Amino acid sequence: MSGTAKTMPAAEFGEAEFETLTQRLGIDPATAVDPRLGFVVAAARSTCRACETKEQCRLALSMPRLTVGDMAPFCPNVERISHLQCSGPGRNGQGPAQSD
């Protein structure tokens, strides 16, 4: 056996779930580089990678209509995701100013 670690697909580390979840809930990818919210995205991504409820997450992600409430019973990121959903760029006047 070689001394190098075998690389695992991103889905096994929660990356696929994180990307799908944020996309389905309308969280702008630009939020990751927002100086106010980037650390929240990084923390949520890290939590998804270590999450032990991926099967429940995948089941919820397969639902035709997904809300944060669907994730609440099992998702350790529900508060972060909810915060990002409400605070991302262009949300409630909190994001970067729109030019006319």
99 within some domain:
no
64 within some domain:
yes
**Interval 8-32: pLDDT, tens:** 454 457 888 999 999 999 999 888 8
92 within some domain:
no
- Number of separate domains in the chain: 1
The rounded distance, in Å, linking the Cα atoms of 47 and 54 is: 11
**Interval 35-61: pLDDT, tens:** 889 999 999 999 999 999 999 999 999
For residue 39, give its domain range.
11-87
96 within some domain:
no
76 within some domain:
yes
In the numeric block, the tokens 């997904």 are attached to 66
pLDDT surpassing 80 at residue 94: no
5 within some domain:
no
